[in-house]
Amino acid sequence: MNWEEREEDLEAHLNRGALWAITYGDLMSYLMIFFLLLYLGSATKSMKVQMSIKSITERFGGGQGKAIQELFSQYGVQKIARLEMNENKIRIVFQAPVLFDPASAKLKTDNMPQMHQLVDALKELPNPIQIEGHTDDRPLGPSSEFKSNWELSAARAFSILRFLEISGVDPQRLSAIGYGEFRPLSANAMPEGRAINRRIEINIMRRED
């Protein structure tokens, strides 16, 4: 190999090394950008959540912020219910077996400690409270005291209303309604879906000041 060939070979080798270095450098740059975007996305999401919570609290009234926070953090309602929140209402969703035996509208005593804690939180809020009863689409048996799921859902909603009233919640803030099987959250074809549909909702409504 003459000198010119060696020089060309060395130049090609150096170029390959430079190309590898450039490629590696680009890769590291892309990785840095990727992780930076992940961080910024996470921070932005957290900021959006905080802003959303702040907005919801403001929509419900600044003086009620403490009670709303307690409802989510201090009280043990999460153990027996699902909590949802938007700018118009706080929705507390109980699956029916938590509060009632099958085809019954008599309130069970199993979770009374959490229910009384819920009452303590509701007393701090001046908002209207709407209780909704919901069932699946399976017909009641012939021995049931109720003629339809509509009657059962209404009776369960009224049982919750009476419990809240007796426990000290202002009755002027309370209303109850039964929807039967007509507002399902899931398909009734499978047992899991029917279980989701059998529920009680306590809706803390936003006041229109």
Residue where a domain terminates, one of 38, 60, 82: 60
Residue where a domain terminates, one of 41, 60, 79: 60
Q: How many domains does the chain have?
A: 2
Distance CA 118, CA 127 (A): 14
Q: Indicate whether 130 and 190 sit together in one domain.
A: yes
Per residue of the chain (209 residues), give pLDDT as tens: 554 555 555 455 545 555 444 454 554 554 554 444 444 444 444 444 444 445 555 556 555 545 555 555 566 677 788 878 777 888 899 999 999 999 999 999 999 988 998 888 888 778 899 999 999 999 999 999 999 999 999 999 999 999 999 999 999 999 999 999 999 999 999 999 999 999 999 998 887 65
- Predicted structure pTM score: 0.69
CB pairs under 8 A, 24+ apart, for 147-151?
A: 148/180, 149/180, 149/181, 150/178, 150/179, 150/180, 150/182, 151/178
The answer to whether 177 and 130 have CB atoms below 8 angstroms apart is yes
Q: Indicate whether 109 and 168 sit together in one domain.
A: yes
Q: Indicate whether 78 and 56 sit together in one domain.
A: no
Residue where a domain terminates, one of 43, 60, 77: 60
Q: Indicate whether 144 and 90 sit together in one domain.
A: yes
Q: Indicate whether 37 and 11 sit together in one domain.
A: yes
CB pairs under 8 A, 24+ apart, for 167-170?
A: 167/116, 167/119, 168/119, 168/123, 169/119, 169/122, 169/123, 169/129
**Which whole-number Å values give the CA distances from 174 to 68, 82, 117, 133, in the listed order?**
18, 20, 18, 14
**Which whole-number Å values give the CA distances from 104 to 49, 84, 181, in the listed order?**
39, 26, 16
Write the burial class of residue 100 (CB in 10 Å: 0-12 exposed, 13-18 middle, 19+ buried): buried
Q: Indicate whether 34 and 75 sit together in one domain.
A: no
The residues that bridge with 130 in the sheet, in sequence order, are 175, 203
Q: Which domain holds residue 18?
A: 1-60
